[in-house]
Structure 1
Amino acid sequence: MSEKQLAEEIIPPNESQVIEDLTAQLKAKIIQDNPTGIMRRDAHPKMHGLVKAEFIVEADLPEELKIGLFKEPKTYQAWIRFSNASGTINPDHDNDIRGMAIKLMGVPGEKLLDAEKHAQTHDLLLISASRFVTKDVEEFDALVKALTGSVLAKIVFFLSHWRVVFNLLRSMHKFANPLQIRYFSATPYLLGSRAVKYSAIPHVAAPDSIPSKPAADYLRLAMVRQLQSGDAVFDFAVQLQTDPEAMPIEDPGVEWLETLSPFRKVATIRIFQQAFDTEAQNTFGEHLSFTPWHALPEHRPLGGVNRARRVVYNAISAFRHERNNVPRTEPNSWDI
C-alpha cells in the first residue's frame, strides 16, 4: 500500500449510496420534527443571533498563505449566524455543540457549486469542537439511525462505537456567551494545493459566566448585552496539514494537534456594536443557507464528511425553502 500524501482524498466505493441514505434520513427527521410551522434545519435550528461583521484579511501574509480569500489585504462584509447544533430546539443550558456560520460577501470569482457559480458569497462553517463526532459518513449515517431509532438501537450503537461516545462527551458543553467561544472547522479544506483546518479565536477581556438561573435563551441575551456596549473580535486562523497520518483528511474525528502545526492568523473578524435581535433580521437568518461548498476552488472542502455536506446541505436547503415557500437566494449586502 502506498503512503498517504498531503491533502489526499480517498473515496470509499459505497460512499454515494451512504450519502443518499443519510439525505433521506435527515429529510424524514425534519419532517417529523416540524409537523407544524416553518420547516427548520436538521442541525443548528436554534439561532442565537445573526449579526453583521467584517472579515479583514491580514496585510503582509507569507506567500504560502496568500491564496484565494487571503491573496491580498481586503475587507469583506459578512453575515454570521450563531447557533446550537442539536437538531431540536432546547434550552441553552443543555450541553451542546455551538455553531458559527460565516457568509462573506463581495467575493469575486467562480464558485464550486454550479447552481451558484456566479454568487459573490463564500461560506466558512465552524463549531465549538476541534473534532467531528464520527470518523466518516458511514459512521455518521449509523449514528443518525441510532439516534432516531429505538432505545435498543441507541444502546447497541454506543456500546460498539466508544470513540463516538468520547467525541460527543468531549464536544458537548455549556457556554456563557457565543461571542466568547473558540470555534473550529473540524473538517479540512484546500488552501491552494495544501490542506488546512480553520479556527476562530475570540478576544475576551472579561469572560462572562453562566447565569445561576439561566433563561432558556440566555446565549442570545449574552450576545445582545455584549454588542450593546462594544465590538466582538475574533482572529481567523489556518492550520496547515504537515503529517498525512497524524493529521488525516478522511477522519475528522481525529484532532490535528497544534504541537504538530500551530494555527496561523490570516484575518480578523470584527462584529461591531449593533442591535441585531429584530424580527426582520431573525427571519432573514432563518432563511439563509450555509454550506462549505459556497466557496472558491482554492478552498475546496476535503474529506468524506464534506463530500456528504455537498449533497445533504443542498437537498435539505432546497426542501426547506420549498416547504416554507421562500426563495433561496444569496445576499450581496447587509440590506435585508
Structure 2
Amino acid sequence: MTNRTLATESIPPGETDRIHDLAMRLQAKIIRENQGGIMRRDAHPKMHGLVRAEFTVEPGLAPELQIGLFSRPQTYQAWIRFSNQSPSRGPDSERDIRGMAIKLMGVPGEKLLERQKNALTQDFILISTEAFVTRDVAQFDDLIKAMTGSLWAKICFFGVHWRVIRNLFRSMRKFANPLQIRYFSTTPYLFGATAAKYSAIPRIDRPDAVPANPASDYLRSAMVTQLGREEALFDFVVQLQTDAQAMPIEDPGRAWSEAASPWRKVATIRILRQEFDSDEQRAFGENLSFSPWHSLPAHRPLGGINRARRVVYDLISAFRHEYNHVPLQEPTGWEIGQPQVGSTEPSAIMRNAVMLGTKK
C-alpha cells in the first residue's frame, strides 16, 4: 500500500443534496426546540462551562508529527467549552454524549473558511466516544429524520440499522466530571502525507464518582469544585492512518485499531485553576462558534461527516447569531468583551447560509 491511498476522500453520489437536506432539517429542529427563548445549538446546547486553558505543543516530536500547528513547540491560549449533546438540556444524570470543543488563539496562517481566513484561531471538536454514531451523511440524515419523526419512523430506521444502535448504546453514558473524561474527534483530518484522528486523555489523580443523588447540573458543580482546588491536565494525542482499508476516511462510525496505530502525544492541555461560573462568561460561551473548519489547511477535515459539518455548522451558527442579535466573531485572547477579529455581519452570513441550505 502506498501513501497515495492514505488521506483520500471518496464522495458518494447524492451527498450534496443529503447535506442540504440535513441542514434544513436541523434548522427546523432548533426552531421547534427553542420557542420563546434564545436560539441554541442543534447539538451540545447545555454548557457545563467555558474555561481558560493553555495548549502546549511538545518539543522534540518525531518528523512525521511535526505538521502544521505541531511543527514547532509553542504554547497557545485557548477557550474550551464542555457540554452535553442532548438538545433537551435535561439533568446531567441522564445518559448522554459529552463534548469538549477547543479553540486555540494566536495561530498564524490563512484558515480554510473564506470569511475567517484571517482569524488567528484553530478549533478541535471532540466527544466522549471513539466512534461516530453513523457511517456517512446519508445515514445521519436518515437518523435525524427518524428521530424527529413518528414512532413508526423510528421503528423502521432502527430496525435495519443495528450498528447505529450499538454505537448509540456504547456512547450514551453517565460521567462524574467533564474534566475526567477521555474525548475523541471520531472523524479524520489531514496530517502531512496521511490522516489523523485526535483524542484528549485526562490525567486523573483522584477520580470523582457520580453522586448518589445528583443535582440537575452536577457536572458544572464538579468542574467548579475541581478548578477551585487544582488545575486539570489532558494529553492531546494523534492516531495516524496507516492502512486506508482498515482505517477508512469515509466511515467515522468505525474506530481505528490502536494496535495497528497507537496514539502518540503531540501536546499538553492545561486548564488553569479559575472561577468561570459567572453570567458574563456563560453568555460569552453561548455566543462562541466552534467548527472543525476553523482550521489551518494542514489540518483540513476529511470525510463526509466533516464535509456536512462545513455547511451545517455555518448555517446553524449564522442562523442562531442572527436570531439572537449577536455578532459572529472569533476571540483573540482570554478577555471577555474584548475587541475581536474575523467578524462578519450576521445578515451577510445568513444570506450565504440560507443559499447553501436551500440549494436543490
TM-score, normalised relative to structure 2:
0.92
1:284 equivalent in alignment to 2:288: no
Q: Could you tell me which residue of structure 1 aligns to residue 7 of structure 2?
A: 7
Q: SS state of the match for residue 152, structure 1?
A: helix
> Where do residues 174-253 of structure 1 align in structure 2 (5 Å cutoff)?
174-253=174-253
- Is the 8 Å Cα contact of residues 194 and 242 (structure 2) preserved in structure 1? no
More displaced, 191-200 or 20-29? 191-200
Matches within 5 A, 1:289-328: 289-328=289-328
SS in 2 for 1:99: strand
CA contact (8 A) 1:76 1:105 kept: yes
Query: Please, which runs of 5 or more residues in structure 2 have no aligned partner?
Result: 337-360
Deviations 1:91-117 (A, max 9, x none): 101000000000000000000000100
| Structure 1 vs Structure 2 CA RMSD | 1.1
Q: Distance between the aligned counterparts of 1:36 and 1:70, measured in 2? A: 44
Rate the CA distance shift 1:249–1:4 in 2: closer, same or farther, 3 A: farther
Match in the other structure for 2:56: 56
Residue of structure 2 in register with 1:46 after alignment: 46
Letter in 1 for 2:329: T
Give the partner amino acid of 2:335: D
Q: Distance in 2 between matches of 1:262 and 1:280?
A: 41
Matched, 1:268 2:268: yes
What whole-Å deviation, never above 9, does each CA across 1:168-223 have from its counterpart, x for those lacking one?
00111000000000000000001122100000000000100000000000000000
- In structure 2, the residue matched to 1:158 is 158
Q: Which amino acid aligns with 1:203?
A: R
Give the total of aligned pairs: 335
- Matched residue, 2:349: none
Distance in structure 1 (CA, Å) of the matches to 2:193 and 2:324? 40
Measure, in 2, the Cα distance between the counterparts of 1:297 and 1:4: 18
Give the match's secondary structure for 1:239.
strand
Contact 1:4–1:245 (CA<8 Å) still a contact in 2?
no
Cα distance between partner residues in 1 of 2:23 and 2:44: 16
2:132 matched residue in structure 1: 132
Helix, strand or coil: the match of 2:32? helix
Question: Within 1, Cα distance between the matches of 2:324 and 2:301?
Answer: 29
- Aligned residue number for residue 112 of structure 1: 112
Amino-acid identity (%): 66
**Deviation of residue 15 (structure 1)?**
0.7
CA distance in 1 between partners of 2:256 and 2:277 (Å): 36
Report the counterpart of residue 356 of structure 2 in structure 1: none
Distance in 2, matches of 1:148 and 1:8, equals 33
Please tell me whether the aligned partners of residues 182 and 201 of structure 2 are also in contact (alpha carbons under 8 angstroms): yes
CA distance in 1, matches of 2:199, 2:282: 25
- Read off the aligned partner of 1:207 and give its amino acid letter: P
Structure 1 distance, partners of 2:71, 2:6, is 22
Partners of 2:4 and 2:86 in 1: CA distance: 34
Amino acid paired to 2:221? L
Shift, 1:4, TM fit: 8.8
What is the match of residue 143 of structure 2?
Answer: 143
Instruction: Work out whether residues 84 and 97 of structure 2, in 8 Å CA contact, stay in contact via their aligned partners in 1.
Output: yes
List structure 1 runs of 4+ shifted beyond 3 angstroms.
none
Mapped to 2, the partners of 1:86 and 1:163 lie a distance apart of: 20
> How far apart, in 1, do the equivalents of 2:105 and 2:47 lie?
20
The Cα shift of 1:5 comes to 1.5
Aligned partners of 1:13 and 1:107: how far apart in 2?
A: 36
Deviation at 1:131, TM superposition (A): 0.4
SS at match of 1:76: strand
Distance 1:57 1:126 in 2: 18
Q: Which runs of 5+ in 1 are unaligned?
A: none
Which residue of structure 2 aligns with residue 94 of structure 1?
Answer: 94
The residue type paired with residue 172 of structure 1 is: M
Give secondary structure in 2 for the equivalent of 1:214: coil
Q: Letter of the aligned partner of 1:8 in structure 2? A: T
Amino acid across the alignment from 1:171: S
Please tell me whether the aligned partners of residues 4 and 244 of structure 1 are also in contact (alpha carbons under 8 angstroms).
Answer: no
Task: Judge conservation of contact 2:49–2:276 (CA < 8 Å) in 1.
Answer: yes
Q: Post-superposition shift, 1:19? A: 0.3
Query: Are the aligned partners of 1:239 and 1:262 in contact in 2 as well (CA < 8 Å)?
Result: yes
Do 1:79 and 1:102's aligned partners in 2 also have CA atoms closer than 8 Å? yes
- Amino acid of the residue matched to residue 214 of structure 2? P
Show CA shifts across 1:144-183 (max 9, x none).
0000000110011001100000000011100000000000
What is the TM-score of this pair, normalised by structure 1? 0.99
Distance across 1 between alignment mates of 2:87 and 2:200 = 23
Q: CA deviation at 1:67?
A: 1.0
In structure 1, what residue type is equivalent to 2:303?
Answer: G
SS of the aligned residue for 2:159 comes to helix
Structure 1 equivalent of residue 37 of structure 2: 37
The 3-state SS of whatever aligns with 2:122 is: strand
